[in-house]
Homo-oligomer: A and B are copies of this chain.
Amino acid sequence: MTETESARQPEIALSDEDRRGLYRTILSRRDVRGQFLSDPVPDEVLARVLVAAHYAPSVGFMQPWSFILVRSPEVRARVKAAFEAANAEAAALFPDDQAASYRALKLEGILDAPLNLCITCDRDRAGPVVLGRTHMPEMDLYSTVCAVENLWLAARAEGLGVGWVSIIEPARLQDILGLPDRVVPVAYLCLGKVSHFLAKPELASKGWRQRLALSDLVAMDRWGGDAPDPELARALDDAQAWAEAGG
- List residues of A whose CB falls within 8 A of some B CB: 4, 7-9, 12-15, 17-29, 31, 43-44, 46-48, 50-52, 54-57, 59-63, 65-72, 75, 86, 89-90, 93-95, 102, 105, 107, 120, 126, 129, 131-136, 138-139, 141-142, 145-146, 148-150, 152-154, 156-159, 164, 166-170, 176-180, 183, 186-187, 194-201, 203-205, 208-209, 211-212, 214, 217-225, 228, 231-232, 235-236, 238-240, 242-243
Contacts and interface: CB of A to CB of B under 8 A. Distances in A.
A168 B135 contact: yes
A218 B118 CA distance: 10
Given A149-B150, A209-B61, A18 B14 contact: no
Contacts of A71: 220-221
27 contacts: A7-B205, A17-B20, A18-B24, A18-B157, A21-B25, A22-B22, A22-B157, A23-B157, A26-B55, A44-B235, A47-B235, A47-B236, A50-B236, A51-B242, A54-B212, A56-B149, A60-B203, A60-B208, A61-B208, A63-B212, A69-B220, A75-B222, A94-B129, A132-B167, A135-B167, A141-B142, A176-B222
Nearest to A126: B209
A168 B198 CA distance: 40
User: Which 7 pairs from chain A and chain B are nearest by CB?
Assistant: A21-B21, A18-B21, A47-B239, A47-B235, A145-B145, A43-B235, A61-B203
A54 B209 CA distance: 15
Contacts of A89: 134-135
A14 B26 contact: no
